[in-house]
Chains A and B, each alone.
Chain A
Amino acid sequence: MRHSTAVHAAPDRQPLAVYTARLTSTVFALAATVTVSLAAYVYGGSPLGVTVLGASALALAGWLATARGGAVENGSAFNLLVLTTVALMLVYAEQWSTGFPAVLIRSFPAAYPPGTGLSGHSFIAVFTLAGMAMLVLGLLGYYHRLPIGEFAAWFTFSWTLCATILAYVTGLLGSHGPHYVGGLAFGPVASIFALLGIRRLVEASSETGSAR
């Protein structure tokens, strides 16, 4: 009787492929974190730089902490990820319509030397267009259960939370005293979806880990 030996080679390749994908994704995520945070500081000032750095750090920490055993979680946060992205778009719309970039500069003048700070035009280009395109690609990666898609999900939720916090800090602690700024209305709605999404990612990671 002849026995096939092909089945003995396959199990070693799958964990290696997953490990390689995770390693590549981790390096890319670290590179993106450093680059985007620095760009946010250089062009958007320290309030924006700190916010992006905080969101990136939270996303990295959450992603790496839940990526136990290398398995990619089951994609069950997809709906919340889309809802958070849509709500984030509403936050951006609110902020653009109320001139948030200019309000940010006026609220923290010491953080914006001449030549720094985003204009309304740049805000649209960077956040609602380029940024949203990247988040949609993250949706695609998450749907396909790629490790980098997992990180993109973490970053979408983290960024939404941190962007809302920035709006509230600007409104409450800015140099003009407490006042309304763009993002205070839709920010909490987006943050609820983001928090639910983070909870789902953590729960799904536990489910995936216990199923192995």
Chain B
Amino acid sequence: MTRAPRLDRETRLSIALVAVFIPTYATVLYLQAGLMVVGIVCGAMVAGFVAWLRTTVRYPPATEAILPAYLLALALFLFHVLEEFQFGFAARIATAAHVHWTEVQFIEVIVLLGPTIWIAGAIGIYKRHPLGNYIAWFFFIGMIVGEPTHMLVFPFMEGGRYHYFPGMWSALFPMAPAAYGIYRMLADPRKGDAQDTLPAVS
């Protein structure tokens, strides 16, 4: 049985960075928003980490396989956060989960920090960098696992008749490109070179 090739230095460094970042981010988010939000967001980070290590860590997929789906999912996610922001998601979660999560904290972490990292991740995906590949895994899994909670979990936490919860109407749309991105990451053949960073000129 042949062993998998040894990870290069860049990949090992990327793994170490992610391994440090996840608990750091989880701690900050827990202190701000409590266990439930951490469970959803950082659960996706851990799931993405495991999926990345078990699949594409040695051979990041071709750029055209995931970058379009990633950018589309990211744009849809930003529109989704807009709905959450406009209708007071942070306050409703704070009340439902009995935590203290302010709109300012929501803006800092969910509106500013997160999207900044995800937009920057596009360069990593474009250049087929291992870190970019992890960010793609985290984001795609987050969209598929985290978004349905707006319909399946949050309204029930508040009790009473099933009702609107901020972000509900736009929650499911990022799932479609995210699912396609995961499919492409797993289905595309592993390529050893990084020549295919741009789509072919038609």
Q: Residues of A with Cβ closer than 8 Å to B?
A: 74-75, 78-79, 82-83, 85-86, 89-90, 92-93, 96, 124-125, 128-130, 132-134, 136-137, 139-140, 143-145
Partner-A contacts on B (CB < 8 A)? 67-68, 71-72, 74-76, 78-79, 81-82, 85-86, 107, 111-112, 115-116, 119-120, 122-123, 126-127, 198-199, 201
Q: Report the minimum CB–CB distance from B152 to chain A (whole Å).
A: 24
- A-B complex: 7 closest residue pairs judged by Cβ atoms: A133-B78, A140-B71, A129-B82, A136-B75, A89-B116, A133-B75, A93-B112
Q: What residues on A are CB-neighbors of B126 within 8 Å?
A: 78-79, 82, 143
- Nearest Cβ on chain A to B73's Cβ, whole angstroms: 10
Instruction: Give A98 to B10 CA distance when docked, in angstroms.
Output: 37
Bound: A93/B72 CA distance, A: 23
Are B122 and A82 in contact, CB atoms less than 8 angstroms apart?
A: yes
What's the nearest-Cβ distance from chain B to residue A108, in Å? 25
Nearest chain A CB to B63 CB, angstrom units? 9
Complex contacts, B82 vs chain A, CB 8 Å: 125, 129-130, 133
Contact in complex: B198, A75 (CB < 8 Å) = yes
A128-B111, A129-B111 in contact; A136/B74 too (CB < 8 A)? yes
With A78-B126, A82-B120, A82-B126 as known contacts, state yes or no: A92 contacts B112, CB within 8 Å. yes
Q: Is the pair A85, B71 in contact by a Cβ cutoff of 8 Å? A: no
A133 touches B85 (CB 8 A): no
- What residues of B have a CB within 8 angstroms of the CB of A92 in the complex? 112
* Residues of B contacting A125 in the complex (Cβ-Cβ under 8 angstroms): 82, 85-86
In the complex, the answer to whether A82 meets B119 with C-beta atoms within 8 Å is: yes
Which A residues are CB-close (under 8 A) to B107? 96, 124
Chain A residues near B123 (CB-CB < 8 A): 79, 82-83
Residues of A within 8 A of B67 (CB): 143
Chain A residues with CB under 8 A of B119: 82, 85-86, 89, 132, 136
**B85 engages A132 (CB within 8 Å):** no
Question: Nearest CB to that of A136 among chain B residues?
Answer: B75
Which residue of B81, B122, B199 contacts A129 across the interface (Cβ within 8 Å)? B81
Smallest CB gap from A89: residue in B: B116
Chain A residues positioned under 8 Å from B85 (CB to CB): 124-125, 129
In contact, A74 and B79 (Cβ under 8 angstroms): no
A144 near B116 (CB under 8 angstroms)? no
Which of B74, B75, B76, B115 is the one whose CB lies under 8 Å from A89? B115
| Residue from B71, B116, B127 within 8 A of A137 (CB atoms) | B71
